[in-house]
Structure 1
């Protein structure tokens, strides 16, 4: 999780309960609520609707997934979590995406991701690597929305 992002109350409880309830699930993700400073306001305010955003801060993982998948690609200065999650999906890692916010992603002028050209370069690199692997192995993968729950959990 990035140092400037926040978790909502009960995030871990909700996600860990889902891991405990279903031993076949290896990753439980949630939605991300983007937050930004509003002019003249001292606090972050939500904007846009919560959405699926591939970010490690929105998820919890079984240790066994890292044993299976390995760690981040250290050549990725940005989007290393996207690259890792795409690899996990390609390898059939069982995921569940809650329709609850599990990460408040705070946007401000000091974010590392403010470098749009680098951010876009590494995002496209992660997508291209995923496409290349799938073409090479003739794999099809589920769309991330196929992992989402059909209703909101309490």
Structure 2
């Protein structure tokens, strides 16, 4: 399914961001990459996404500079991992804002629970933003984990960007 319109040259930064991030599956792929998923098979299994759609979205994320494609050997075959770039890593506040909005304004019988953000240095649950709700220290990406999410009952460290 191709889009009829592009906003890549729009004067509005929200429109340009939507041009990159607003396709179906894109934010979920970035969410899982942020949680450490790197391999095609794992994205497919975790998301339940069709191979052709996943192939297209991964290629677009690589083309737009949010993921990078790194080769690895699997037996006799060369395969690829998809790792966050700095641009992909910088989408973290968008993911946090969407998670907070979804917790506040949507519901589902299948909902796992709220998306908890943990400030590792003090262990407090916190909200996205500038400072930890528990200790008041500035929130840095390296000091955050996700807890009790759709992916795991434990804490999920956030993947570091490549490069």
Q: Shorter-chain-normalised TM-score: which range?
A: under 0.3
| Structure 1 length-normalised TM | 0.25
TM-score (norm: length of structure 2):
0.24
Higher relative CO (Cα under 8 Å, sequence separation at least 6) belongs to: 1
